[in-house]
Amino acid sequence: MDKICIKDLTVFAYHGVMKEENVVGQKFLITVQMSLDTSMAGTSDDIDISVNYADVCEKICDYAKNNTFKLIETLAEGIAEFILFEYKKVEAVEVTVKKPWAPVHIPVENVSVNIERKWHDVYLSLGSNMGDKKVHLDNAVKQLEDYNGIKVCKISDYIATAPVGYLDQDDFLNAAIYIKTIYSPMKLLDVIHDIENAEGRIRDIHWGPRTLDIDIIMYDDCVMDTDKLVIPHPEAAVREFVLKPLSSIEPKLIHPVLKKTVSDIYDELCRQGECAKHDYHYDFVSIEDLKISADTKIVYFGNEGAYSQQAMERFFGHGGYISFSKSKFTGVMEAVHNKEADYGVVPIENSSTGGITDIYDHMQDYDIFIVGEQIIKIEHALLSKGDNVDDIRNVYSHIQGIRQCEDFLAAHPMMTPVEVTSTAKGAEIVSKSDDASCAAIASVKAAEVYGLNVLARGINTTDVNSTRFIILSSKKNYIKNASKISISFEVKHESGALFRILSHFSRNGINLEKIESRPIPDRTWEYRFFVDIAGNLAMQNVKNALGGVMAESEGLTILGNY
C-alpha cells in the first residue's frame, strides 16, 4: 500500500493532565502516515484523486487546537478517526504524537504515543424470527450505517431458513453483510449488542427465538477465542444460514483457519447433505380448511356400512354433502381424478397388518393428492342371518378383515374365509343369501345396515387395531396448519443411495414417521419408496430437505400435506 507522510507537524495546544498544561499550553509534534492507493493520482498528476496533505495538516492543527484532552492517547485517537472518516481514500493511518515539553522533571527529548488505525474488513450474519422479521433486519442495517466508524459495503438478499437446535419456533430470515469498520472486535461487539437491544433482543433460550441476532463471522484474518468472542464464528463453516447469504456477496472470501473460500465450503456442505442449495419449489396452495357444501360429492371405498364410510362421516360429519361408494380402490381414485367427486376416502394402512399395497401401487397412476387423514378404531364382528357360531362355514370379508381375524378363524377351523371387495360387501352378500351357514366379518354398523345378527364381537386378533384412511382430492391444496407430508421417490441403484436421501430429513430436524417400499413394475429389484414426514410445505427446513431429496433421488412426488 502506498503512503503519504506528514512528519513532525508542530502545533501549540493545551493537552495534559495538569491544569497549567490546559491553561499555558505547549508544543506538540504530530506525525501522520496515511496508507492509500496513489497510482491513479501518480499517473494523472491530479491532486483531486489523491489526498491533499496541506488540507490534512490544516485540519490536524484545527483539531489539536480546538480540543483539550488530558491524554495524548486521546488526541492521537481523535486524529486517526477524523482522517479515516474525512478522507475516503485512506485505508489505514499511523499517528504519532510527541510531547517534547512534557512535565516529567527529568531530562527527556520527548514522550510520545504511536497508534495505527485502519478500516477492517468484517462480515456479519443477521437473523430474525420474531415479529416483522424484515423490519428488524432493515433496522439493523440502518443502525449500523448511523455509526461513523462503520461503512456498510454489501448486503445479501434476505433468505428464509429453518431453525437449528431449538426447533419449536418460527423460521428465520437471514442475511450477510460486508462492512468496513475502525472498531476493534470487542468494540464492534458492544455496538452489535446495543443494536440487538434496541430491537428488543432477549437472551433466555439458547438457539431460541429472537427479534434480532447479529454475529461477527469474520474480521480481517483475525483468529481469536475468548469467553466473550470467537472469530471466525464457530458456526461459520457448518451452517447454511451463514454460508448461503455470505457466499452470495463474497464467494471468494477465504476462511482464515480452513484456508478455503466460503463458496467451496458451502458447496461441500451441500454435497454432504447438510443443506439444499436450491429450495424445492412446488405448486401446492395453502388454504384455511376443506370447505364442503350441499353440492360437495364424496366417494368412499366399499359398500354402505363400510369402515371407509365411518371414516368419511368422522372426517366430514354426518350429512350436508352427497356421498356414494365404489367397490374398488381404483374406482375411488378414478372418480376423484375425473372430478366426479370432490373428495375420496380410502384405507391406506392398518396398525396390525400394515400398509394396503394396492393404494401405494395406484397412487402414481392418478393426478390426485392427499388432503387429510382419519384414523378409525377397527372392531370386527361376525355377522350372519343365523344365530349360532358353530353353524358357520363360509365367512366373507375383505382380505384385510380376514388377516386381522386370523386367530378367531384358526380357533374355528370349520370356517372357510372367502375374499370379497370389502367388509361391507361381505355383509351385503350374506344379507342376500338364505344360507344360515354364511357369515361376514364386518362392522356392527354393517349388521345394522343389512339386518344381520351379531354372533361375535371384537373378533380381531389384537385390541390395538386401527386403520388409517386418507382423504383424496384432485386439487393441490394443503390446510394451513397441516403437519404431515407424504412423498414418494425412486432410489438410484447404487451403494448408500437410500441413506443419503433419508439423511436430509435428519439433518434438517425432520421426524420420519413412516417408510414403505413397493417394487417398480418391469424393473427387477428396483423400488419406489413411500415416506411420511412431520412438517408443513411452508417450512424452510422442509424445503431444504426436499431439495436435497430431489437431488439424490429420481421421480420425487409430493403426495400431499395434511
What is the 8-class DSSP label of residue 491? -
Contact (CB, 8 A) for 511 and 483: no
Task: Sort 476 into a burial class: Cβ within 10 Å, 0-12 / 13-18 / 19+.
Answer: middle
Q: How many Å separate Cα 27 from the centre of its chain?
A: 63
Task: Sort 170 into a burial class: Cβ within 10 Å, 0-12 / 13-18 / 19+.
Answer: middle
Cell of 299: 366417494
Q: How many Å separate Cα 448 from the centre of its chain?
A: 51
Strands 394-397 and 438-442: parallel
- Distant-in-sequence, close-in-space partners of 217: CB < 8 Å, separation ≥ 6: 123, 124, 125, 176, 232, 233, 236, 242, 246
Task: Count CB neighbours of 490 within 10 A.
Answer: 17
User: Is 99 one of the catalytic residues?
Assistant: yes
- Distant-in-sequence, close-in-space partners of 227: CB < 8 Å, separation ≥ 6: none
Residue with cell 480452513: 258
Which of 123, 113, 421, 450 has its CA nearest to residue 262? 123
User: Cα-atom radius of gyration of the chain, to the nearest Å?
Assistant: 38
What is the 8-class DSSP label of residue 447? H
Cell of 424: 361391507
Cis peptide before 232 (omega within 30 of 0): yes
Per annotation, catalytic residue among 3, 70, 89, 99: 99
What is the 8-class DSSP label of residue 253? P
Task: Count CB neighbours of 365 within 10 A.
Answer: 11
Handedness of CA 408, 413, 414, 419 (dihedral sign): positive
Cα distances (angstroms) measured from residue 280 to each of 8, 284, 500, 547, 558? 64, 12, 17, 4, 11
Cell of 118: 485502519
Helices (DSSP H) in 468-539: which residue ranges? 497-507
Handedness of CA 287, 289, 294, 300 (dihedral sign): positive
**CA gap 292, 165 in Å, rounded:** 40
Task: Count CB neighbours of 68 within 10 A.
Answer: 16
Known catalytic residues are 99
